[in-house]
Chains A and B, each alone.
Chain A
């Protein structure tokens, strides 16, 4: 693996609502190398999607990036204006969302949507555009791509649509793709196909990828590294082996333990009691403390990062020992 080309440092994205300030993302830092899949896992409200939108420069009022840095090849993205950011969006950083029907224009043929994406950034002949589209559709495993180019989104299945969206993301040869729950709405057999193609693309083309999901099982099969988020903060980050095989943070452990396939069938699941705290009323301490059975008084103090290995960091006063 090469040196990281993309870095996020101490990112804070807050939403200033009438009810108060919602600190959706608090002091998030990570980096991404070429040919690497970083999985961001968390439950609803953990800030994983806001992290992705922050990188794309798509945080709208009343939200904004309060502090921190997002840098691609050393170039700072948070200070770019809207027009400047457009050169990056799609061209260098592409995004794939959960629902392809929201991304695709229902009134346009796939061909026109793909041509439009290329035309926005490059001036090449229709023949070249066509070839590039076919190549992208093939890369995501779409059979008979020529026919698909003429299709409208509603003529395709959910899995096919999502592949088209990924193909559009690939068109301009981006350095990285951010995928937010891209296979969550798909059936398992279709999900397995898409993950297979994604992994191949990452390995062959040296793309960087951020895969945002609530599903640890998918990440365990796809990601190189995993970052675990809870209520806007990072709990633990490490290689997939470190997170899945040797998690040290109580939240990561509990999250893994509550997955049905890790429990004895027919027995009670190990559950996490309670609910996620309101993002409006977060203290300065660990947000998981109220649900954590290892918590003590010190957990209401700001939590420093503990480095366990070159790649493994946790934010916890009472981590598991092994």
Chain B
């Protein structure tokens, strides 16, 4: 249970912004213009244990989706190291059949499912191609997967547009499960769904986790969903992990001021009307993040060295790390 299935070390990803052939051509002549670089993910290290669900939470622009894509192996890293069961990721991904062990579920099933394929083919195609199941058995195989995600077997003859949003997300999950993955990455997989349907999909993911012991990375901006589903949570802000610990611990005693602010801002069903002034300030542009600790301009605890020193992750207690300079070591 405690073995590491996936590990990221100092993982970074930068994008050059506004680059186009024309711009590159112009830049060639206007040498003095520095290229604009966006560091979407900045030196992130984390690990996922077998059978564990790790949540990654943060606001827009914090790099959580870029991180998800790098973990899924569909986006190369700019620097840093990824290892799957102690093997360098690049050599692991190069073996096509093994690469299937990592699967992803996306936010919008309509744009991630081929509209021209029948559901049966969407789900069964990869399994047949990679020899996980022989073509004559494919119908039974797909029917079995469909029943796992709570869809009737006759869905396989229909097209994605004939389903509702929640059902489409089930198809997206079925597609991922069909190749028997060991690790599933869900990027905002329930964000676009209505509350009642969202609950159905969350329950489905919990069932899958229990039945198959799948390791999962669950990316969301919704702390309520994260709290429900995840064993551990990493909080990200502008490309960096600012706090990582067990879910219970994070909600019971958050350390980083940003985590606290997120928890306070989280809408709760309560009869108490919020009267206090929420923390002001905007999320800075990831193109020009503040110096030192990225959070210091909005931080109520900031002191002058916060703008100068980049805080490294440090351990507050066993398994609870944060990146804040002003928290006394205990």
Identify the A interface with B (CB < 8 A). 43-44, 141, 157-160, 187-193, 195-196, 199, 214-218, 220-222, 240-241, 244-245, 254-256, 258-263, 265-266, 268-273, 275
Identify 19 residue pairs between A and B in the complex whose beta-carbon atoms are under 8 Å apart, listed by A's number: A187-B59, A187-B60, A188-B223, A189-B261, A189-B283, A190-B282, A217-B267, A218-B267, A221-B272, A221-B274, A258-B196, A260-B222, A260-B224, A261-B227, A261-B269, A265-B228, A269-B199, A271-B199, A275-B166
CB atoms of B278 and A221 under 8 A apart: no
Shortest distance from the beta carbon of A179 to any chain B beta carbon, whole Å:
15
Residues in B neighbouring A273, C-beta threshold 8 A: 200
* Cross-interface CB contact of A259 among B200, B224, B273, B282, cutoff 8 Å: B224
- Cα of A268 to Cα of B209 in the assembled complex, Å: 12
Residues in B neighbouring A141, C-beta threshold 8 A: 280
- Cα of A222 to Cα of B261 in the assembled complex, Å: 19
CB atoms of B198 and A189 under 8 A apart: no
- Cα of A187 to Cα of B279 in the assembled complex, Å: 13
| B window 246-270: CB within 8 A of A | 247-248, 251, 261-262, 264-270
For chain B, give the interface size range: 35 or more
Identify the B interface with A (CB < 8 A). 59-60, 164-167, 194-200, 202-203, 206, 221-225, 227-228, 247-248, 251, 261-262, 264-274, 277-280, 282-283
CB atoms of B194 and A214 under 8 A apart: yes
* Cross-interface CB contact of A215 among B197, B267, B271, B278, cutoff 8 Å: B267
CB atoms of A160 and B282 under 8 A apart: yes
- Cα of A159 to Cα of B60 in the assembled complex, Å: 11
Given contacts A43-B194, A269-B228, A271-B203, contact A241 B271 (CB under 8 A): yes
Given contacts A192-B278, A265-B247, contact A220 B195 (CB under 8 A): no
- Cα of A260 to Cα of B267 in the assembled complex, Å: 12
Shortest distance from the beta carbon of B227 to any chain A beta carbon, whole Å:
5
Residues in B neighbouring A199, C-beta threshold 8 A: 273
Interface of A is mostly: helix
CB atoms of A272 and B279 under 8 A apart: no
Given contacts A189-B261, A221-B274, contact A216 B269 (CB under 8 A): yes
Residues in B neighbouring A254, C-beta threshold 8 A: 196
- Cα of A159 to Cα of B280 in the assembled complex, Å: 12
CB atoms of B278 and A189 under 8 A apart: yes
* Cross-interface CB contact of A221 among B197, B199, B268, cutoff 8 Å: B268
* Cross-interface CB contact of B278 among A193, A222, A262, A266, cutoff 8 Å: A193
Closest 9 CB pairs of A and B: A217-B267, A258-B199, A43-B194, A187-B59, A260-B224, A192-B278, A272-B196, A271-B199, A188-B265
Residues in A neighbouring B221, C-beta threshold 8 A: 187-188
CB atoms of A187 and B274 under 8 A apart: no
Residues in B neighbouring A190, C-beta threshold 8 A: 282-283
Residues in A neighbouring B271, C-beta threshold 8 A: 220, 240-241, 244-245
Shortest distance from the beta carbon of B265 to any chain A beta carbon, whole Å:
4
Given contacts A260-B227, A275-B166, contact A189 B267 (CB under 8 A): no
Residues in A neighbouring B227, C-beta threshold 8 A: 260-261, 265
Residues in B neighbouring A221, C-beta threshold 8 A: 267-268, 270, 272-274
- Cα of A258 to Cα of B201 in the assembled complex, Å: 11
Given contacts A263-B228, A265-B247, A269-B203, contact A216 B278 (CB under 8 A): no
CB atoms of B195 and A192 under 8 A apart: no
Residues in A neighbouring B194, C-beta threshold 8 A: 43-44, 214
* Cross-interface CB contact of B274 among A44, A196, A241, A271, cutoff 8 Å: A196
| Given A43-B194, A44-B165; 5 other pairs, CB 8 A cutoff | A189-B59, A255-B195, A265-B228, A266-B228, A275-B164
Residues in A neighbouring B273, C-beta threshold 8 A: 199, 221-222
Residues in A neighbouring B282, C-beta threshold 8 A: 157, 159-160, 190
- Cα of A209 to Cα of B237 in the assembled complex, Å: 34
**Among A158, A196, A254: residue with most chain B CB under 10 A:** A196
**Among B199, B265, B271: residue with most chain A CB under 10 A:** B199
- Cα of A195 to Cα of B273 in the assembled complex, Å: 11
Residues in A neighbouring B199, C-beta threshold 8 A: 258, 260, 269-272
Shortest distance from the beta carbon of A140 to any chain B beta carbon, whole Å:
13
Given contacts A245-B271, A261-B227, contact A43 B203 (CB under 8 A): no
Shortest distance from the beta carbon of A101 to any chain B beta carbon, whole Å:
14
Shortest distance from the beta carbon of B276 to any chain A beta carbon, whole Å:
8
* Cross-interface CB contact of A191 among B164, B228, B265, cutoff 8 Å: B265
CB atoms of A187 and B196 under 8 A apart: no
Residues in A neighbouring B195, C-beta threshold 8 A: 43, 214-216, 255, 258-259
CB atoms of B206 and A268 under 8 A apart: yes
- Cα of A217 to Cα of B265 in the assembled complex, Å: 11
Shortest distance from the beta carbon of B158 to any chain A beta carbon, whole Å:
15
- Cα of A270 to Cα of B203 in the assembled complex, Å: 9
CB atoms of A258 and B198 under 8 A apart: yes
CB atoms of B196 and A195 under 8 A apart: no
CB atoms of B265 and A271 under 8 A apart: no
Shortest distance from the beta carbon of B15 to any chain A beta carbon, whole Å:
19
Shortest distance from the beta carbon of B211 to any chain A beta carbon, whole Å:
13
* Cross-interface CB contact of A220 among B196, B198, B262, B269, cutoff 8 Å: B269
- Cα of A240 to Cα of B327 in the assembled complex, Å: 39
CB atoms of B228 and A255 under 8 A apart: no
- Cα of A31 to Cα of B228 in the assembled complex, Å: 37
Shortest distance from the beta carbon of A39 to any chain B beta carbon, whole Å:
12
CB atoms of A195 and B202 under 8 A apart: no
**Among A222, A254, A271: residue with most chain B CB under 10 A:** A271
- Cα of A159 to Cα of B61 in the assembled complex, Å: 13
CB atoms of B269 and A268 under 8 A apart: no
CB atoms of B166 and A188 under 8 A apart: no
CB atoms of A192 and B274 under 8 A apart: yes
- Cα of A158 to Cα of B283 in the assembled complex, Å: 10
Given contacts A189-B278, A217-B267, contact A261 B59 (CB under 8 A): no
